[in-house]
Structures are given as C-alpha cells and as structure tokens.
Structure 1
C-alpha cells in the first residue's frame, strides 16, 4: 500500500538520522588529564551521611605509574561525565562530579593496571582527623557550619530551617564528626560536594517534584531489582523527656499516636527544640522502611537527594522514592550504567 510504504520510508529516514548515543568520562589527576588511560570508572554519590567517593582503573602500558607516578595519599582527582545524543539527537548533558582526594591505590599485573580510590573531603586531613574541644553558644547550626567550613576553605550550601543552638559542647571530637552528629540530631544531611560543605533537610527534599519517572521495564535485566521492607512497621509517634535548665523539672512532649512510639531521653534547649529533635528522630528511624534498588541506563540527572516516580511495579512497590545513593559506572564493556538505592516516601 502506498501510504504504508511512505510511512516506512519516513521511519527508515528517521532511524538513519538518529545519531549514536555516546558517553565519556573526563578525568584529571593532579590537574593533568589522563582520560585515554582510564579503563573503568565508578562514582558513588550518597545522601546517607557518608562521603561521596570514586574509583577508577588505569591501564599502565608504559609502566610509568609503577614508578614516580604511583598515586600518593592526598593527590587530587577531578571528574566530569558527559553524554551526547543520549535519549535523542542533541540530548547532551553532563555531571560535574567535583574534586576528590586519593586515599587508596593498588597495582596488579601482568597487564599492569593501577586501581585508585578517592573520597570527597577537604585536602587537609584535619577535618576528619584532628580532635577539637570547643563550646558553641548562642549560635545557629548554619553559623556553626559556616565556621567549620571556613577552617577548611570550603563554601557552605545550607538548605534548611534556621536552628538555634543555645549551648553545645564539642569535646575532643573531629569537626567532621561533630557536625555530622549535630546534623543527624536535627534530621539534616551533611556531605561534601564540589568543594562545598552541603547541608540540606531530607524531609523537605522529599516534598519536591520527581525529576524523572522510571518504569520497571527500563531496568537493566541482567542486574535485576530488589525490594525490602521491615515488617515491624514504622513508628507512629514518639515521646521525648528532657530536663528544663531553669526549673530543673522533667518535661515530656508527645507527637503522633502512641501505638508504636519512639522514646527519647535527650537534652533540649526548649520545648521547640525538643519537638524538632523528636520529629527528626522519628523521621530518621522511618526513612528506609521500604527500600528499592536497581540499575538503569546511565543518566547524569539521577543523583542522590532527588525524588523519582517509580511505576509498573504494582501497588506495593510503585510510588515516590528518595534516592539515598546513586552509583555512576562507565566501562568499555558495559558502557554507562547508573545503580540506584532508594527509600519509599511514606
């Protein structure tokens, strides 16, 4: 039929005009690009309070890395991921992964390969190694974070409510560990990304619109998918008891229902502070009650801290998910793949 032939010709022409999708990693080591030598790369982005990290393999054909170039602790790695004509002609995107500090290295043969691991943290080890004693008084959490960030030449990105800390003792504790503990107490996520100290409100981010809808049928079949839930169930509410500093009386505050309560005995500066700490503790405990993981074709937009709409899994699994971890891997064999670990938003 003439009409069918015309459609076939147009479809054939459209396919012929489609450009082949392409991805690449641009990696600089101590400021020098070594991309042609990289045989595999993996980037792990985490919104779970752990540092982002990357790892890669170098084909050491000239055996230069076995000598003077062998990686040293504290060397810097800068990485960007690029995709071209990815989901159609002209769909060019990138993911700026930031700067990482080398913390591990190994070498194997006989085809000499150097394996390097690097983590996103300040180049100075003091952030996570030097213990400090200090009393913080009448300072917001943001101000405390700004002070700590300034010590390590980091800019601060803060996306959360102002939280006043009347008094908090940092006793023989590393700045990184102290700030991490403080953020967790108030339900905030702390990480270092692209030379910035990043703090954001996870529960607030869960309310954002999904950046993408992913169907079950887009998942990499060879990797499969996994769904887990804690059958005990979520906390339905909670109660916190603290001692008022002025009256020295014990004060209790309840939130939600007491069907399955979370109980806290915690210092608090005020009733409002106690309420914030209790709600954060309940949110932290309930966060990963329903967990889903799978791998899809690589996508620079799929990073930690974003919301995804997951469909075609049925009523139990389908829904909105918060991305706790995204691992971007590029290799000559498998191409570009993104592995996701997520928690269902309930």
Structure 2
C-alpha cells in the first residue's frame, strides 16, 4: 500500500490566513498547473453540514485566494500555487458540500477582454511585449528566432487567446503566471535536467498508464508561402527530427515568407509527433513536479526515458493525503 503523505497547506483568503479556521471543513484542495494556453486553476471542497458556508462564511465571486502546499517531512519545500480569483461556487448534497473554483488572478480582467487590433510590420516578440505592457505584466520571453509579420489581425479576440494562437502556430508556449507573461520554447524546457527520478520499484507510484502510437506520426510537413521576388507560390517541405517513417503532413494554409514557413512546419510536426509516447501517473505528493519540468522514468522497459510534464495536478484530501498527478510525454 502506498504511503499517505502528511500534507501541509496554507490558505490566504482576501488577505487573511484562514487555514486553521477552514481546515476542519476541508474535504479536498486541488491545484492544476497548466503548461500552455490555459489558466492555472484551484478548487476547494468543504463540508457544509451546518450551512455556515451558505450564510456567514458564504464566499463571493471575485474573492482572491492564495494557496501553498508542502510536505510535513520536507517543510522547507513549499509549492506556491499562486493567487486565484473565485469565479464559480457550487453547493451540492446530501451531505451538504460547497465547491469553490477559481482561475489564476492574472488571467482575469483586462486580459480576457476581447479586442480588435491590426498588427502591421511587427514581430512575435514585439506583439508579446505590447500585450504584456497593456496588461501590466512583466514579459519573460526567449523568442529565437523572432517571427516577422507584415500584417496579422486580432479579430474580436482576447489578448490571451490571440497570443496563444500565434505561439502555438510557431512553436512557443504561452502562460500568465504571477504577474508575468511567460513565452517559452518547448525544446529549451526539454533540455533542462530532471527534477525527479520515478522508479517502478518506488512505492511513491500510486497508479500509471502509458500510451504509444504510430498513427498520426509524421516524417515531414509541407507548406506554401509567397515569394515576392519570384512572384510565385513556393512549396516548402520540412523533415521531422528522428522520424524515418510516416506520412507527410500537408498544411492547407499559406504563410507570408520562408521564415514563417519553416517555423510553422516545425511547430506542426512537433505538435503532431510529441504525443507518440505519453503517460498519466499519480504519485505521493511531490512539490517539485510542476508543468514544464522534466522527470526520468525507470523500471518500465522500453517505455523508460526522459519525460516532459505538460500538466500537474496537486491535491490534498482527508482520505488520500497529498497526491500529485502528472500528464507527461517522452522527449
């Protein structure tokens, strides 16, 4: 039987430490850490048999809740989940419970307001910089190569949705976290050292599943762009690294220039091929397992290797203690 790890947690609600007050009623605390395009999320589930959460303690939408999670035997290591704005409250029963859900504070207004903007003679880095500035965020980005655009339109889209679309198209992750707009290259994150070694013989593994596939794995990508000097449409084919067999992915869209064509094709191949071998694991709680980090898997034969964390969910509950579930892919 796996070891139930004794958790530590801290809940700051509207600027007040309410950890001791709410602990007797806490059924589960669940934090979801997303790598790209989605807001980090929090969910708190409380008992409400005496209806205090429907009256004196009733939360309000818009309340800001900050959460940290730690381990009793490693109290020096805390996972700072961040601050969240409550946007959904659900009561259910019997027995009476309340579920309070929130999204990362910095992905609410004004970042979610829809806008229409014509971006002309610009680049991906300049767009990121402008969006960070108008949303009072600090830009944390390493954009190489920087993609040039003659014109790109933001049509009735939120800044986050618009930027997510461009970054996905040209091979970058984008995330808003604790007053930062973070733009990263998956390949650079994959080069980092592993934060944890997960061994089949290790009792920290509670459950696992692996999936491998050969379908939807592509050896090359074909895309078209306009060459202003030759005044004609040019077809460009980009080969996938390390893939010797498979179909050719054909993109129907047309981009502005060869630089865009190369980066778009590389990104399309990466997005298609990266899930060739993936896994979902639940382990005893580990604050080091966060989205964007790497782990090494051992004891699973041909499935062993280095994996990249796409999503991490940390949960604390009365029944199971502290557990961490990760969605990972082999790199």
TM-score normalized by structure 2?
0.88
Judging changes above 3 Å, is the alpha-carbon distance between structure 1 residues 111 and 234 closer, same or farther for their aligned structure 2 residues?
closer
Question: 1:178 — aligned with what?
Answer: 162
2:177 to 193, 202, 205: 193
Structure 1: give runs of 5+ residues left out of the alignment: 1-19
Judging changes above 3 Å, is the alpha-carbon distance between structure 1 residues 214 and 197 closer, same or farther for their aligned structure 2 residues?
same
The separation in 1 between residues aligned to 2:105 and 2:144, in whole angstroms, is: 25
Question: 2:208 — aligned with what?
Answer: 225
The aligned length equals: 319
SS of structure 2 residue aligned to 1:96? strand
Range with bigger deviation, 91-100 or 335-344 = 91-100
Contact 2:117 2:154 in 1 (8 A): yes
Residue 221 of structure 2 is aligned to residue 238 of structure 1:
yes
Contact 1:240 1:253 in 2 (8 A): yes
Judging changes above 3 Å, is the alpha-carbon distance between structure 1 residues 21 and 121 closer, same or farther for their aligned structure 2 residues?
closer
Residue 309 of structure 2 is aligned to residue 326 of structure 1:
no
Question: 1:102 — aligned with what?
Answer: 86
The separation in 1 between residues aligned to 2:246 and 2:209, in whole angstroms, is: 30
1:313 to 290, 293, 300: 300
| TM superposition shift of 1:304 | 0.6
Specify which structure has the higher proportion of strand.
Answer: 2
TM-score normalized by structure 1?
0.84
Contact 1:192 1:198 in 2 (8 A): yes
Contact 2:14 2:63 in 1 (8 A): yes
CA deviation profile, 1:254-302 (whole Å, cap 9, x unmatched): 1227852111233333212211111011001111121111111111110
Superposition RMSD on alpha carbons, in Å?
Answer: 2.4
2:70 to 74, 82, 88: 82
CA deviation profile, 1:28-56 (whole Å, cap 9, x unmatched): 12212221314120111112422211101
Higher relative contact order (CA 8 A, sep 6+): 2
Question: 1:264 — aligned with what?
Answer: 251
| TM superposition shift of 1:220 | 5.2
Structure 2: give runs of 5+ residues left out of the alignment: none
| TM superposition shift of 1:217 | 2.4
The separation in 1 between residues aligned to 2:124 and 2:62, in whole angstroms, is: 29
Flag the structure with larger Rg.
Answer: 1
